[in-house]
A and B are shown apart, each in its own frame.
Chain A
């Protein structure tokens, strides 16, 4: 699995994806690791099929003992169906996820890890010296859904917002925004159900200082492409798949 370091300061952001061993018919996903010298958070650690690749890739950056926290932006299988396996590897970890999905996510197998139910208005994930902000992104697309913002690294993990359906092995960053639009248009029109939720999210995200917008599928946006994406998304009518 390909690993790309997004930020390196007192803490580090790494994105994992483009797994060449992934079974053909499952959607490619981006997993994120935020690590401090003593702790680490896995963001949307992925489905059961990529668990081995993901854990192997993670061990190149942090030790198992260091992974203290998991985050699942919402309940989808590509986000967190690997939970039953993580539960055996990280029995003392905590899973931060929307309160709305607790009784559903537990179906993936949760016997040891502690479920931390996130209230609708968000809050923070505390990793000791590092505090990450939970940005509500409800109905984008899931009815209980969060993004993560790191004000130091200026990275916004945006979940399914900004996602695109790409060919295997696509580059990690958008290099030509206009060329990228066809790859993400249908995804947003079909999966995002609410214009009101979308516009509210765009106005809140515009107030954040974002260098990298990091979705869970497809390429990441950096620099001027972040604003380009927000403008495009604001103008797009969503929930029109039917």
Chain B
């Protein structure tokens, strides 16, 4: 469990963590687009190679589909991270309001003067609970989307091995198709690195959140 000294700073850290995910994934989007273009080039080489690259042709379709799926996931994550970031901002503001309302209660000398105010405090508490639920729900969804990209990348690792095998059988086209396999392998590694970073940010945000809730 993360330990926090200052609740407000921790809230800010959560906000930064979820917002950084979107930025981190913009790099993944760029790479996925490159994979998609690479798949189209590979398709052209495989077409020229004809029978010599027969096994390579269905793989290029698979790579393209996988790249497009990754792009769709990244776009969804981008939107979701933005929503989580907005909810987080609202939560920070509502929490700030709650702190200040409690400050008001502390300052008012006669409890009878707070009668009309009690409803306000109750409403803010209810709003905060609703925001927290929404935040947790969205964060779980983000984690699922990141898992989905990870699955794509596991599949892509297997594809890049098949690529290499099929490239080795493609005679004079071996080098060109070998480059496709290399590029795919490198791109997958870079995407995995970014997704890992995103997952780590997400877990950090989740841990901090739990610590804030417990405080």
Using a CB–CB distance below 8 Å, which chain A residues touch chain B? 51-53, 55-56, 59-60, 63-66, 84-85, 88-89, 91, 109
| Given A64-B117, A64-B120, A65-B116, A88 and B107 contact (CB-CB distance below 8 Å) | no
How far does the alpha carbon of A127 sit from the alpha carbon of B93 in the complex, in Å? 30
**Min CB gap A187→B, angstroms:** 29
How far does the alpha carbon of A63 sit from the alpha carbon of B109 in the complex, in Å? 14
Decide: A51 and B116 in contact? CB cutoff 8 A: no
Decide: B113 and A60 in contact? CB cutoff 8 A: yes
Is B171 located at the chain interface by the 8 A CB criterion?
Answer: no
**Min CB gap A1→B, angstroms:** 9
Task: Count CB-based A-B contacts (< 8 Å).
Answer: 47
Candidates B93, B113, B123; contact of A59 at CB < 8 Å: B113
Q: In the complex, what residues of A have CB within 8 A of residue B2's CB?
A: none
Using a CB–CB distance below 8 Å, which chain B residues touch chain A? 93-94, 96-97, 100-101, 103-104, 107-109, 113-117, 119-120, 123-124, 127
**Min CB gap A63→B, angstroms:** 3
How far does the alpha carbon of A131 sit from the alpha carbon of B6 in the complex, in Å? 47
Candidates A59, A88, A91; contact of B104 at CB < 8 Å: A59
Decide: A89 and B120 in contact? CB cutoff 8 A: yes
- Where chain B touches its partner, the secondary structure class is helix
Q: In the complex, what residues of B have CB within 8 A of residue A88's CB?
A: 94, 97, 120, 123-124, 127
How far does the alpha carbon of A55 sit from the alpha carbon of B93 in the complex, in Å? 17
Decide: B115 and A63 in contact? CB cutoff 8 A: yes
Q: In the complex, what residues of B have CB within 8 A of residue A85's CB?
A: 96-97, 100
| Given A85-B97, A88-B97, A109-B93, A52 and B104 contact (CB-CB distance below 8 Å) | yes
How far does the alpha carbon of A91 sit from the alpha carbon of B123 in the complex, in Å? 11
Q: In the complex, what residues of B have CB within 8 A of residue A60's CB?
A: 108-109, 113
Q: In the complex, what residues of A have CB within 8 A of residue B124's CB?
A: 88
How far does the alpha carbon of A6 sit from the alpha carbon of B104 in the complex, in Å? 24
| Given A84-B93, A88-B94, A59 and B100 contact (CB-CB distance below 8 Å) | no
Q: In the complex, what residues of B have CB within 8 A of residue A84's CB?
A: 93, 97
Write the chain B residue with the least CB distance to A91: B123
Decide: A64 and B100 in contact? CB cutoff 8 A: no
| Given A63-B115, A64-B120, A65-B116, A56 and B107 contact (CB-CB distance below 8 Å) | yes
List 10 A-B pairs, minimum CB-CB distance, nearest first: A63-B116, A56-B107, A52-B103, A64-B116, A88-B97, A52-B100, A56-B104, A55-B104, A59-B113, A65-B116
**Min CB gap A16→B, angstroms:** 13
